[in-house]
Amino acid sequence: MGSEKQVLRLADILVNHSVKAKKGEIVRISCGEQAKPLALAVFREALRAGAHPLLSVGFDDAQRIFFEEASDAQIAHLPPTKRYEAKRIDADIVIVAPGNTRALSHIPPKKLADKRKATRPISEIVLRRVRWVLTNFPTESLAQETDRSLPEYEKLYYRAVDQDWAAMEKMFLRAKKILEKSARVRIVGKDTDLSFSIKGRKAGRSPASG
């Protein structure tokens, strides 16, 4: 799970840079049980920012049981409380920390697709109006996905996320302005000479901005 210092540093980045939590705002912390160390650190950091943290914690086994037992009607159900919540939160910090990345491999793909379709209205509300960020939290299963031990994966992960994101954002904003003033991009390298038009296109948002 990384050192306490690393976890606290990441919580600071997520709350104060990624979603820029402000006094009086509702900040939802969405996570699974294995993300507890980071979720609690984010909870504390949100309080220090003057925000109102809202914990939304799920269990991996509950999700598996749901898909094993749910009827078509239950799959299609969209809880009105979830829609209400999506319309009221100001920021969403999503922490992905699976105990088993194959936990739903035996579930028919149609069931998973039908559930995604049912919850799409909520996702669209969040994407449209909420400042959000998503990050992994190192677990054994995520380490296995990269063919690494957990300590090796943690080292890779924290090296990637512990950046001066404010400085990086400024750099990408400069690149964004240059791209949006340009009409054509040319990429030249060994055995490569590729060019294409970007006239009139808008460049994407900077990283870690939610």
pTM of the model: 0.83
What pLDDT sits at residue 208?
Answer: 44
- Rounded CA-CA distance 120/72 in Å is 16
Q: Note the pLDDT tens digit of each residue in 15-73.
A: 999 999 999 999 999 999 999 999 999 999 999 999 999 999 999 999 999 999 999 99
Q: 57-67: buried (b, 16+ CB within 10 Å) or exposed (e) per residue? A: eeebeebeebb
Residue 178 banded pLDDT, cuts 50, 70, 90? confident
**Under DSSP, is residue 157 helix (H, G, I), strand (E, B) or coil?**
helix
Region 4-162: CATH code: 3.40.1830.10
Element (H, E) at 65: helix 60-69
What pLDDT sits at residue 204?
Answer: 62
- Rounded CA-CA distance 51/74 in Å is 34
Pairing mode, if any, of strands 192-197 and 184-189? antiparallel
Residue 76 banded pLDDT, cuts 50, 70, 90? very high
Structural domain spans, the chain? 4-162, 164-210
Q: Which residues, 6+ apart, have CB-to-CB distance to 96 below 8 Å?
A: 31, 32, 35, 134, 135, 136, 137
